[in-house]
Amino acid sequence: MRHLRQRFALLALATLAMTAAAPARAADTSYGAGVKLTEATPIARILADPDAYVGKTVRIEGKVLDVCPMAGCWMELATEASGAKLRIKVDDGVIVFPATAKGKVAAAEGVVEAIPMSRDQYTAWLAHLAEEQGKPFDPKSVGEGPFRILQIRGTGARIAG
């Protein structure tokens, strides 16, 4: 009986030591209204038939590929399985996504929108993106339309810690 109590005490101490030594997982951080929908819509499904989702509120999940380096007003999520990616855009200053989110897993919620553009508008938008990222841009690389931007007008997000 004494050996049994000693073994139990040693096992309890070992468990406590392993728990204390385990790194703590940082908590998820919510932005804006957070994420309320429980089911995610695959990004690839939205991209395959965007008109079926325009105006609808969706939740998407994926790895954060990029964040707006100037104001944190957008982040781009990608699904590792398909490589499909979609941008979540929020009003400047209302929600600010941190640059440290790159590489983390996130869920975002908002309304799918398609913004039609002229060739000049689309070219200016691409030039702006290139400038944000410090990359060169050649307007001659823009093909013939139709042009539109597909994105999610974000209301909230959750980024894994």
The token pair that represents 33 in the structure block: 């209204």
Q: Where does the pLDDT of residue 128 fall: very low under 50, low under 70, confident under 90, or very high at 90 and above?
A: confident
pLDDT tens for residues 59-78?
999 999 999 988 899 999 99
DSSP class of 8? H
Taking the domains of the chain in order of start, what are their residue ranges?
25-159
> Domain 25-159: what homologous superfamily?
Nucleic acid-binding proteins (2.40.50.140)
Residue 42 CB partners (closer than 8 Å, separation 6+): 60, 79, 82, 84
pLDDT the model gives residue 7: 42
pLDDT the model gives residue 25: 58
pLDDT the model gives residue 15: 38
Give the torsion sign (CA, 143, 91, 33, 56): negative
Cα–Cα nearest to 89, from 29, 129, 141, 40: 129
Q: How much of the chain is helix, strand and coil, in % rounded to 5?
A: 30, 30, 40
